[in-house]
Amino acid sequence: MKKLKNLFLGLAVVAILCACSALAIAQQQDPPLVVRQLKPDVYWTEGGNGGNTGIIIGKTGVIVVDAKGSAASAKAVLAEIAKLTPKPVTHVILTHSDGDHVNGLAGFPLGLTIIAHAGNKKEQEAAIAAGGNGAPPADHQPTMVVTKTHMTEMLDGVKVELFHWAPAHTSGDLVVYLPEQKIVFGGDVFATNRPDPRVHLEKNGSSEGIIATMKGVAALDVDTIVPGHGGVQTKAFVQERARKLEEKRKTIAAMVKQGKSLDEIRTAVGDAPQQAGGAAPAAPSFTESVYIELTKE
């Protein structure tokens, strides 16, 4: 009888462990992909693996903004596009080089026009040279490189304006503006999945550039801003966020001049306190990025 009880106890423990493992796997699964309409021929998607994407249906083809973070999620986007129109995807515009926005290119067909800023292309080439982590395959690299601060393109009958005010989230950010629809796809400069935008210092991003980019978008005739992560934003929201970030940066700069420590500055600007003994954050906060920018030799 005792052996039988031990057997049942062992099976119960195994069942609990299996259930916990299944729950952990389920929790790691990507959220469902959702397509939302902005205008008759303009959509955006959230969910899946990676950042938000844009879908713009032209005369004979489809323009996609950002490519998700995996080939599987990219194929899910392509399947959703097929439900909207029989037209093929002809262009992909990349807002920046982060893997969660470019790695999905591996799931797109070959031969597309892939548009990116020169800084973006350089960052992807560096990732490929370092072993390929954080970049799509070489046969899905940008084919049209933007070097100007502003250019206007007619892509399949759709007027598209591309802006690069300054290095911001990365060195190669592009803002995609549809002037006729008053819509912006802004990438991670406008992401709301963090309290403040992230500055990729390792990719030569700039806190000043983030503020300049937000101000640049706020000066456009725009109604809707689609960020790289999070829900759509209004011009008023972006204006207020830029104002707060600019004030925060000025406060940090003044305290750096006074010789204040990073912890003192964090407290002064209202950042969440660091957890004693906790794991280090995945990336520097906006405050820390500004501090590093202003104190580096």
In the chain, what are the helix, strand and coil shares in percent, each to the nearest 5?
40, 20, 40
Lowest mean pLDDT among 32-46, 72-86, 248-262, 267-281: 267-281
The share of the chain scoring above pLDDT 70, in percent, equals: 87
The verdict on residue 257 lying in a domain is: no
178 or 282: whose pLDDT is higher?
Answer: 178
| Mean pLDDT, rounded, for 182-186 | 98
The verdict on residue 293 lying in a domain is: no
Rg, Å, the chain Cα set: 22
Residue 134 pLDDT > 90, yes or no? no
The verdict on residue 254 lying in a domain is: no
> What is the pLDDT, as a whole number, of residue 52?
98
| Mean pLDDT, rounded, for 50-73 | 97
Residue 27 pLDDT > 60, yes or no? no
Domains contained in the chain, number? 1
| Mean pLDDT, rounded, for 21-36 | 67
| Mean pLDDT, rounded, for 96-106 | 96
Q: Given CA atoms 252, 257, 262, 265 in this order, what sign does their dihedral have?
A: negative
Band of the pLDDT at 272, cuts 50, 70, 90?
confident
> What is the pLDDT, as a whole number, of residue 19?
40
Instruction: Name every residue whose Cβ is closer than 8 Å to that of residue 84 and which is 6 or more positions away in sequence.
Output: 35, 43, 55, 57
Residue 297 pLDDT > 80, yes or no? no
pLDDT in tens, 199-229: 999 999 999 999 999 999 999 999 999 999 9
The share of the chain scoring above pLDDT 90, in percent, equals: 80
Band of the pLDDT at 22, cuts 50, 70, 90?
very low
Which two structure tokens, joined as six digits, stand for 266?
């964090």
Q: Is the Cβ–Cβ distance between 203 and 217 less than 8 Å? A: no
> What is the pLDDT, as a whole number, of residue 137?
87
Write down the mean pLDDT value for the chain: 90
Provide the β-strand partners of residue 242. none
pLDDT in tens, 74-95: 999 999 999 999 999 999 999 9
d(CA 146, CA 202): 21
| Mean pLDDT, rounded, for 112-127 | 96
> What is the pLDDT, as a whole number, of residue 279?
52
The verdict on residue 196 lying in a domain is: yes
Please choose, from the candidates 271, 274, 277, 278, the residue with its C-alpha nearest in 3D space to the C-alpha of residue 252: 271
Q: What CATH number is associated with residue 145?
A: 3.60.15.10
Band of the pLDDT at 132, cuts 50, 70, 90?
confident
Print the domain residue range for 37: 31-235
d(CA 28, CA 89): 30
Which two structure tokens, joined as six digits, stand for 224?
């809707």
Band of the pLDDT at 274, cuts 50, 70, 90?
low
The verdict on residue 264 lying in a domain is: no
> What is the pLDDT, as a whole number, of residue 159?
98
The verdict on residue 242 lying in a domain is: no
Residue 42 pLDDT > 60, yes or no? yes
The verdict on residue 65 lying in a domain is: yes
Band of the pLDDT at 7, cuts 50, 70, 90?
very low
80 or 138: whose pLDDT is higher?
Answer: 80
